[in-house]
A and B are shown apart, each in its own frame.
Chain A
């Protein structure tokens, strides 16, 4: 999204190093992420793209041995700073995981959980509204409106993943992180999610980790290529796919390795 012709930067990562114990997983990552755009992170398995994604909402905190160094600025605020409140950060930065992981509760409770713990709805009516808009935005409303009070785990894989997206957007996050959201889905469900991503970028900044280069090319405006813990190249998707600067990127894109 451009304002007065200038790209708005939502997230700015500077010199990010990540260690699992003594093993370094990311080396000196610097990456700008544009607001209201889809940024795809691609690269072979184990290259650190998921690790980087998890830095953005500090999910790496959960892993005891993991330590993150460097600055990650979101709205010019360093989230690795001690003063950063993780709970509030994660309210702003939603996440969708590789495998659909709805809570083993009803569809309704899955969506209402976030707004409840963050005190976003004052009445039952307001909550109903949040649930409905979230499900509509996730293009799931029509399919589940009659079974809101049935278990969310009873939905199909694709529906479950859209439920997870609806859950993530229920708290109106500014950024949505997606960690290979389609890897467990069939092509039809994948197409639905991709369409959805395109829709969601109007209101949210989206960062998606994907294995599928075709998917990155289809959904993203910007792409970052990771290899062995280094960010090899990043830029507009068009450029990365058509005219990459680095030969490694070229080789990966054309399928010579990875």
Chain B
């Protein structure tokens, strides 16, 4: 009998140990996947924050630029920079034939003309002189410099010719190739050229979208939640509404995209591809999330507080507004931020309402066409150029950073207000 009991006890302890082991290994697995994921993204993406520049001597020849004596600022703006730009590149190899000159030109981005122009506009005294100017390297050379480009492929399978590599290596040897922090990744809009593509457009698009989403979803959801929780009678009709709100939260996001397409664009003719439409569509998606969070936190306010206020002669409205709602706000707000974070990461509905269009301008308002960060990831991931691979990872990093900051904010709000009165 006693021995049996001993065995039983041992068995129970062992079961507990096993259970702990399962739990630990589950956590280990989760962390492992997360680490692999983050490592992969960082190792591919970190190079996107560096940009390769070629330092090329440019002679600002007034004659080639079609400039008269003592040109005004206007003249400088209108001047022709293409020839001197071309010449500076061709001068890298004095013995180059015409084909090779063309290849030399393609070693830098098509922005090189503009970069030379900006240099002169910043310093008009350069006319007639020669100065070394930083020119954005082409995306392929950028990848070569970062070591991401397979040099050992046969030449006909490479986008960089042997000749370009030779000149590039010469420049590297002379210290005329430099890698600097890639500011343009944050300030430029999207581009077909990886070396010139940035996230400014999609970043602003995302910000405008979630602002629109917040402004629509938050008030509507909070009012709905307050009404349902504090005022509505509990009957079949309100039960029916509750079930439907929960169902709405489970509707696949692409369905909301179709709704946006069919209603906002087709019937109301709102401007296509804009954060306005995107935000409204996302707000439909966020609405149930916020309602559920707000109702849960209203429910969590102890009934004794309501009773205390009512017994003091506060009306129902006063009880709600003075006591229940303020106490439920931390929960509501953190629910809202989590809902917005979801909306921020949403791609499918935005693709349907046209925010997937190629946008090379930075939107100034929610009415301007824009992309959004997750859609930008999708667009770049589809592009063939090798230079976009690192850009995708970098964009993911920015999006994740954004999400982490938002979730952190939600945590801080919750903690700060919960601590205050407990």
Inter-subunit contact A104/B421 (CB<8 Å):
yes
Residues of chain A lying within 8 A (CB to CB) of residue B322: 113, 117
Q: A97-B304, A117-B318 are in contact. Are A103 and B323 (CB under 8 A)?
A: yes
Q: Is the C-beta of A94 less than 8 angstroms from some C-beta in chain B?
A: yes
- Which residues from chain A contact B315 at a C-beta distance below 8 Å? 87
Q: Which residues of B contact A151 (CB under 8 A)?
A: 420-421
Inter-chain contact A117/B312, CB cutoff 8 Å: yes
Q: How large is the interface on A (under 10, 10 to 19, 20 to 34, 35 or more residues)?
A: 20 to 34
Q: Is the CB of B308 within 8 A of A103?
A: yes
Judged by a CB distance under 8 angstroms, whether B255 is at the interface is no
B300-315 interface code vs A (CB 8 A; 1 in, 0 out): 0010111111111111
Residue from A64, A118, A153, A164 within 8 A of B313 (CB atoms)? A118
- Knowing A103-B323, A153-B421 are in contact, say whether A94-B311 is a contact too (CB < 8 A): yes
Please tell me if the beta carbons of A59 and B305 are within 8 angstroms of each other in the complex.
no
The answer to whether A101 and B421 have CB atoms under 8 Å apart is no
Cβ-defined contact, A97 with B313, below 8 A: no
Please judge, given known A-B contacts A117-B318, A153-B421, whether A101 and B310 are in contact too, CB under 8 Å. no
B18-67 with Cβ < 8 A to chain A: none
Contacts of A91 in B (CB 8 A): 313
- Whether, in the assembled complex, B233 has its beta carbon less than 8 Å from a beta carbon of chain A, the answer is yes
CB of B227 to closest CB in A, whole Å: 15
Q: A103 CA to B311 CA in the complex, in Å?
A: 12
Asked if B180 lies at the interface with its beta carbon under 8 angstroms from chain A, I say no
Is B174 among interface residues, defined by CB-CB distance under 8 A? no
Whether B305 and A62, one on each chain, are in contact in the complex, defined by CB atoms closer than 8 angstroms, is no
Contacts of B304 in A (CB 8 A): 97, 99, 101
Tell me if A167 is interfacial: C-beta within 8 Å of chain B.
yes
Interface residue B129 (Cβ < 8 Å from any Cβ of A): no
Task: Tell me the complex Cα distance, A94–B307, Å.
Answer: 12
For B302, B311, B322, B420, the residue with the greatest tally of chain A CB atoms inside 10 Å of its CB is B311
Q: Closest CB-CB distance, B307 to chain A, in whole Å?
A: 6
Asked whether any CB of chain A lies closer than 8 Å to the CB of B327, the reply is yes
Of the listed residues B234, B302, B306, B314, the one surrounded by the most CB atoms of chain A closer than 10 A to its CB is B314
Distance to closest chain B CB from A153 (angstroms): 6
**Does A57 interact with chain B (Cβ within 8 Å)?**
yes
Q: Are A64 and B311 in contact (CB under 8 A)?
A: no
Q: Once the chains bind, are A171 and B310 in contact (CB under 8 Å)?
A: no
When chains A and B are docked, how far (Å) is the Cα of A62 from the Cα of B306? Answer: 10
Q: Are B305's CB and A103's CB within 8 A?
A: yes
Q: Do the beta carbons of B313 and A103 come within 8 Å of each other?
A: no
Is A103 a contact partner of B309 (Cβ separation < 8 A)?
Answer: yes
127-185 of chain B: CB within 8 A of chain A: none
Give A164's nearest chain B residue, CB to CB: B308
User: When the two chains form their complex, are residues B310 and A62 in contact, meaning their CB atoms are under 8 A apart?
Assistant: yes
Evaluate contact between A114 and B313: CB separation under 8 angstroms: yes
Any B CB within 8 A of the CB of A69: no
A95 within 8 A of B: yes
The CA-CA distance from A95 to B308 in the complex, in Å, is 8
Whether B313 contacts A90 by the Cβ 8 Å rule is yes
Q: Given A59-B307, A117-B318, A151-B421 in contact, is the A101-B302 Cβ separation under 8 Å?
A: yes
Say yes or no for A242: interface residue by CB 8 A criterion.
Answer: no
How far is B253's CA from A137's CA once the two chains are assembled, in angstroms?
Answer: 60
A88 within 8 A of B: yes
Residue of A94, A99, A104, A164 contacting most chain B CB atoms (<10 Å):
A104
Q: Which residues of A contact B308 (CB under 8 A)?
A: 97, 101-103, 164, 167
Interface string of A146-172 (1 = CB under 8 A from B): 000001010000000000100110010
Contact among A62, A104, A114 for B312, CB-based, below 8 A:
A114
Contact A104–B305 (Cβ < 8 Å): yes
3 residue pairs, one from A and one from B, having the closest CB atoms: A101-B304, A104-B421, A90-B313
Q: Chain A interface (Cβ within 8 Å of chain B)? A: 57, 59, 62, 64, 87-91, 94-95, 97, 99, 101-104, 113-114, 117-118, 151, 153, 164, 167-168, 171
13 contacts between A and B (CB under 8 A): A59-B310, A64-B234, A87-B315, A94-B312, A101-B304, A102-B308, A103-B308, A103-B309, A104-B327, A104-B421, A113-B309, A113-B312, A151-B421
Extra inter-chain contacts (19) besides given A57-B311, A90-B311, A117-B318, CB under 8 Å: A59-B307, A59-B310, A62-B306, A64-B234, A88-B313, A89-B313, A90-B313, A97-B304, A97-B307, A101-B302, A101-B304, A103-B305, A103-B308, A103-B309, A104-B305, A104-B327, A151-B421, A168-B311, A171-B312
